[in-house]
Amino acid sequence: MTYNLTSITSNSTNIVGFIQGVNQELMLGFLGIMILIGITVITLIAFIQATGDTNKAVAASAFIAFGLALFLKMLDLIPNAALFITLVLAGGAIAFIWNR
């Protein structure tokens, strides 16, 4: 399989266009999803280490994941389904903490 990298660089006029081109041409649309999952896992592990409370760590990382998903959706790097899933996860985690 060969990749035409010149089409990515020639069609983009700024960094956002370049990242969108890489997302579509090289990563088949999974770049934004991989960024979202990676940062969510890192924040989850960091919050578990810092607080020791898994429930609060899940709620905090789900909230951060939703904020990141909003940003990635504005850049058109993730599909609507990924944004909706992070919204449901954040709402569910906060409702779980609220009822506790």
What digits encode the pLDDT tens for the residues 32-81? Answer: 999 999 999 999 999 999 999 999 999 999 999 999 999 999 999 999 99
| Mean pLDDT over the full length of the chain | 91
Mean pLDDT of 73-98: 94
CA-angle at 78, arms to 43 and 35, nearest 5°: 30
Report the share of the chain in percent with pLDDT over 90: 64
Give the dihedral sign, CA 32/38/42/48.
Answer: positive
For residues 24 and 45, the model is more confident at: 45
Which backbone phi and psi does 30 adopt, to 5 degrees?
-100, 0
pTM of structure: 0.87
Residue among 69, 71, 65 at smallest CA distance from 43? 65
